[in-house]
Amino acid sequence: MSQYPNPADLLAHRPPFLFCDEITELEPGVSCTALWHLTGNETFFAGHFPGRPTLPGVLIVEALAQTAGLAALSSEDFEGKLPLFGGIDKARFRRQVVPGDTLTLTAKLGRMSRMAGKATGTASVSGETACQVEMMFVIADAADL
């Protein structure tokens, strides 16, 4: 059993849109590393693309945002909050991600305030970078949604 919380204990996301399966490293308010195990049974693979299933890049970026959310929401400063996308910058995709891959998601928080924050993220498969991105988010009260 992991020493880290279940991602669903911190994030408001639920399947089929909860992409972080497990947390492997966590420094609350600073950084998080999580895994997404792609089985091939995910519905998007059937249409993206028939005969050559490939994880959509936008879902990689969302998974990285969820990982950044885990880093933020594990801090007492952001308990009861909901980070919402505010922007995506410098997204670069370096390799395809396919069924059977395990995506290692690493996010590091940058400047943070009560209202907004920045993060960087890297997704990789077996040590090979699949995506790098800079993200901005706004902090909302979860109870207001």
Residue 48 known to be catalytic: yes
CA distances from 85 to 26, 48, 140 (A): 21, 24, 11
Distance CA(57)–CA(89), nearest Å, equals 14
Nearest-10 Cα torsion for 47, 40, 21, 67: -40
Catalytic residue chosen out of the listed positions 48, 56, 62, 77: 48
Sheet holding 116-125, edge to edge: 22-27, 31-37, 102-112, 116-125, 128-141, 81-93
Name the residues annotated as catalytic. Answer: 48
